[in-house]
Amino acid sequence: MENKPLLEVKNTGIQFGGLKAVQNLNMVLNQGELVGLIGPNGAGKTTSFNLLTGVYEPTEGDIIFKGERVNGLPPFKVTRKGISRTFQNIRLFNELSVLDNVKVAYHSLAKHNILSSVLRLPSHFKGEQEMEEKSIEFLKIFSLDKYKDELAKNLPYGQQRRLEIARALAAGPKLLLLDEPAAGMNPQETKDLMDLIAFIRNKFDLTILLIEHDMNLVMGVCERIYVLDHGQLLAEGSPEEIRNHPKVIEAYLGEEVHDVNA
């Protein structure tokens, strides 16, 4: 069991018409790892996330999660299998309270059906109360409980990011995908976020895949890094290796010019 990876991405790719947005993607995530996914704009990072979460169905290759094929499943089923995500541009349920945002994620864990809710059977009250208690419990971990009755749209930006992560975790994932969690944050908020990521990882026994442009954050928390460019895997390795990888430097800074006079 030890050496069986949590997630295996095998030669996966997707083509939109003639455009190969991602091709030959190979990734292996082991239980408990914190892995970064970086690359220049348009490299296919978010598309890869969309492949992993079932938003897109890969046109080639397979995605194996906990020994099961998950490509081709609709997103809600992928989430129920244990892959949960946040979005690059925050997608909260704006007109719902902070508490209800988290409750939505608990939805698939509660069992009472529509009939018992309409007839207000005991199972409805039990289920609803359980959802409420669990959600409040959860908000406390993220110290968001003081905002619980506030509408999500009224939270400050940093707290909205936090709430989105909390909501993704409430769905009970084994693998958490974070899409640019530090985007738009100031250095202090980024630092808090780094602490938060380290904390939830231990607390929930998570495996995390993280897209980020903030190199301090990526190099600071990730154990391994994958680099994408033009839809293809460019490099893989420890932060140290990536920092000195000639191809990565080339992708980010451009080719080195040897002879100006030529």
Partner 1 sequence: MKKSKQFWPFIIVAVLVYAVVQILISTEIINQFYSNTLILIAINIILAVSLHLVIGITGQFSIGHAGFLAVGAYLSAIVTMKLHLPFVVAIIVGGIVAALAGLIVGIPSLRLKGDYLAIATLGFAEIIRIVFLNIDAVGGAAGMQVSHLTTWTYAFVCLVITLVVIVNFTNSRHGLAAISVRENEIASDAMGINTTYYKVIAFAIGSFFAGVAGALFSHNFYIIQPSQFGFLKSFDILIFVVLGGLGSLSGAVLSAILLTVVSTYLQGYPETRMIIYSLVLILVMLYRPKGLMGTMEITDYFKLWRTPKGGGQHGK
Stretch that binds partner 1, among 29-37, 146-154, 214-222, 242-250 (CB under 8 A): 146-154
By CB under 8 A, the residues from 51 to 90 that bind partner 1 are: 53, 55, 74-76, 79-80, 84-85, 87
Compute the distance between CA of residue 92 and CA of residue 62 in angstroms, rounded to an integer: 30
In this chain, which of 4, 107, 243, 247 binds partner 1, going by CB under 8 A? 107
CA 207 vs CA 61, 123, 177, 215, 233: distances in Å: 22, 34, 9, 20, 20
φ, ψ at 238 (rounded to 5°): -75, 160
DSSP structure string for 39-61: -STTSSHHHHHHHHTTSS--SEE
Could you say whether residue 145 binds partner 1 (CB under 8 A)? no
**Residues in contact with partner 1, shown as a per-residue x/- string from 178 to 217 under the rule CB under 8 A:** ----------------------------------------
Q: Tell me which residue has tokens 């890869």.
A: 48
In the chain, the largest separation of any two C-alpha atoms, in whole Å, equals: 83
* Euclidean distance between CA atoms 233 and 203, whole angstroms: 31
Our finding on whether 122 is near partner 1 (CB under 8 A) is no
Nearer CB in complex with partner 1: 157/252 = 157
Binding site for partner 1 (CB under 8 A): 53, 55, 74-76, 79-80, 84-85, 87, 91-96, 100, 103-108, 110, 112, 114, 117-120, 124-125, 127-129, 131-132, 146-147, 149-150, 167-168, 171
